[in-house]
């Protein structure tokens, strides 16, 4: 895939995540015990030999810079190519303009300079371990201008309402693309991942910018249906669309299913992240852990069930953690009870404090908070 450039576009809508996204963009949300959401997108591309990857960071840039740095964990710290981080362009007096089109426009020189002739654009809040080598081959062999990647999603509970829905003809060419309202149980779910020829991409971006509309690449693609050869490639694996707290919580707990964790963590390449040099996790004689994912550096003295425990977490004696996500370096002290909750990093839940949400709406504790009984 030498001639394909990877683009991670964010254009984030982060107000669906409450305090979890006060200080970080959605793609920097901790995920799966030791990762950030963006790790999955980057690793997937690196595992399919994309050697130039650009990320549009969005506004809350600090955690991004700290985590991605020069791209070393993904082997993207190359002399040439490698990882490029693009901070948002700010227009005089108007702040950051809406949408990713203006951001692409502001980095036009980058696209002109790189030698790659095709582009993979993806959204990091969709988790899908796509066999990109195969999908890229389909894109090239079908001589399409654009290949959209979709998943035949089944949704009986309305979890995927407001996701993108596609209508395709028999040869998988795009007829229409719109918003899923849940009228059908199974639909073609566009997972915000697409291959484009670079010249087509630049044409779309420039024409949209000149007309002032649309603001988002996906809308631009939709407007050009019929004018360009746009087809679709079906991804048959596990998809998570992380668009709010509930889907974020569910996506984490889905990793407790063996087939899901096999696919996400092991099959088709490793997931890379910034490493932390934590020792192994220690379980005491009194600990009682079931059906959980536990990262390194934890000390578990209490009971943990159906939960995701991040690096360096401490669970005290007689403490109970159930159906919860406990992020890095958080302490659950002796006798505390945490059920159906998401505890952000470096928080402290004091002795004998009880906190509980419901599985429909998990209780959230902001990072660095100290929760006491008073």
| Residue 299 binding another protein, by CB under 8 A | yes
Return the residue matching tokens 């576009």: 9
The pairing of strands 146-154 and 186-197 is antiparallel
Output 164 or 252, the one with its CB closest to another protein: 252
Say whether residue 32 binds another protein (CB under 8 A).
Answer: yes
Residue 34 binds another protein, judged by CB under 8 A: yes
Residues 57/59/62/64 CA torsion (nearest 10 deg): -20
Q: With binding defined as CB under 8 A, does residue 277 bind another protein? A: yes
Q: Is 291 in the site for another protein (CB under 8 A)?
A: yes
The reply on whether position 88 binds another protein by CB under 8 A is: no
Q: In whole angstroms, how close is the CB of 296 to another protein at the nearest point?
A: 6
Q: Is 30 in the site for another protein (CB under 8 A)?
A: no
Stretch that binds another protein, among 153-161, 181-189, 193-201, 270-278 (CB under 8 A): 270-278
Site string for another protein, 102-141 (x = CB under 8 A): ----------------------------------------
Residue 287 found at the interface with another protein (CB under 8 A) = yes
Cα–Cα distance for residue pair 302/286, rounded to 1 Å: 7
Q: Which residue has the tokens 């990713």?
A: 100
Taking the complex as a whole, the smallest distance from the CB of residue 361 to another protein amounts, in Å, to: 25
Report helix, strand or coil for 372.
coil
Q: Per rule CB under 8 A, is residue 143 in the interface with another protein?
A: no
Phi-psi region of 177 (alpha: psi -120 to 50; beta: other; left: phi over 0): beta
Between residues 207 and 286, which has the closer beta carbon with respect to another protein?
A: 286
Q: Does 343 bind another protein (CB under 8 A)?
A: no
Q: Assess 260 for contact with another protein (CB under 8 A).
A: no
Nearest C-alpha neighbor of 190 from the set 126, 119, 104: 126
Examine residue 296 and tell whether it contacts another protein (CB under 8 A): yes
CA atoms within 13 A on the CB side of 340: 9
Counting contacts by CB under 8 A, is residue 70 touching another protein? no
Question: Do the beta carbons of residue 259 and residue 36 sit within 8 Å?
Answer: no
Class of residue 61 by CB neighbours under 10 A (exposed 0-12, middle 13-18, buried 19+): middle
Q: Which of 297, 316, 357, 362 binds another protein (CB under 8 A)?
A: 297
What is the Cα–Cα distance from 249 to 272, expressed in whole angstroms?
21
CB of 262 to another protein, least distance (A): 10
Residue 47 is a binding residue for another protein (CB under 8 A) = no
Residue 341 to residue 330: CA distance in whole angstroms: 13
Number of Cα atoms under 13 Å in the Cβ half of residue 235: 26
| Using rule CB under 8 A, residue 33 touches another protein | yes
Interacting residues of 174 by C-beta distance below 8 A, sequence separation 6+: 148, 166, 167, 168, 225, 230, 231, 232
What is the rounded CA–CA span in Å between residue 321 and residue 292? Answer: 10
Residue among 110, 138, 216, 283 that touches another protein (CB under 8 A) = 283
User: Which residue lies nearer to another protein by CB, 43 or 153?
Assistant: 43
In 10 A of CB 158, how many CB atoms? 10
Question: Shortest Cβ distance from residue 280 to another protein (Å)?
Answer: 3
Binding mask 303-342 for another protein (x = CB under 8 A): -x---xx---------------------------------
CB of 61 to another protein, least distance (A): 24
Of 244 and 334, the one with the shorter C-beta distance to another protein is 334
| 157 contacts another protein (rule: CB under 8 A) | no
Query: For another protein, which residue of 282, 358, 359, 361 counts as binding (CB under 8 A)?
Result: 282
Contact 123, 9 (CB under 8 A): yes
Q: How far, rounded to the nearest angstrom, does the alpha carbon of residue 260 sit from its chain's CA centroid?
A: 16
Q: Which residues bind another protein (CB under 8 A)?
A: 32-34, 73, 258, 261, 265-266, 270-273, 275, 277, 279-285, 287, 289-297, 299, 304, 308-309
């Amino acid at each position: 895939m030498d001639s394909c450039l990877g683009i991670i576009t964010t254009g984030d809508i982060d107000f669906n995540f409450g305090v979890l996204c006060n200080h970080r963009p959605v793609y920097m949300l901790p995920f799966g015990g030791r990762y950030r959401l963006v790790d999955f997108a980057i690793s997937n591309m690196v595992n399919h030999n994309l050697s130039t990857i650009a990320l549009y960071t969005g506004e809350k840039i600090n955690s991004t810079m700290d985590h991605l740095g020069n791209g070393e964990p993904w082997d993207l710290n190359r002399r040439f190519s490698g990882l490029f981080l693009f901070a948002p362009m700010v227009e005089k007096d108007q702040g950051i303009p809406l949408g990713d089109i203006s951001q692409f426009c502001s980095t036009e020189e980058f696209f002109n300079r790189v030698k790659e002739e095709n582009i993979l654009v993806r959204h990091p809040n969709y988790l899908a371990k796509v066999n990109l080598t195969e999908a890229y081959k389909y894109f090239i062999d079908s001589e399409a201008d654009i290949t959209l990647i979709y998943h035949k999603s089944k949704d009986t509970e309305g979890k995927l309402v407001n996701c993108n829905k596609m209508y395709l003809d028999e040869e998988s060419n795009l007829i229409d693309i719109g918003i899923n309202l849940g009228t059908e149980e199974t639909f073609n779910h566009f997972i915000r991942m697409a291959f484009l020829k670079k010249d087509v991409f630049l044409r779309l971006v420039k024409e949209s910018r000149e007309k002032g509309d649309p603001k988002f690449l996906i809308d631009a693609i939709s407007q050009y249906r019929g004018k360009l050869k746009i087809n679709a490639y079906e991804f048959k694996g596990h998809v998570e669309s992380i668009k709010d707290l509930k889907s974020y919580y569910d996506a984490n707990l889905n990793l407790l299913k063996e087939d899901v964790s096999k696919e996400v963590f092991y099959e088709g390449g490793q997931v890379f992240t910034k490493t932390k040099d934590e020792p192994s996790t220690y379980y005491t004689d009194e600990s009682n852990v079931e059906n959980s994912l536990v990262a390194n550096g934890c000390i578990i003295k209490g009971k943990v069930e159906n939960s995701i425990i991040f690096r360096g977490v401490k669970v005290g004696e007689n403490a109970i953690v159930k159906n919860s996500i406990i992020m890095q370096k958080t302490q659950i002290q002796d006798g505390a009870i945490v059920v159906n909750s998401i505890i952000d990093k470096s928080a402290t839940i004091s002795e004998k404090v009880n906190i509980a949400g419901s599985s429909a709406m998990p209780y959230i504790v902001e990072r660095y908070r100290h929760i006491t009984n008073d």
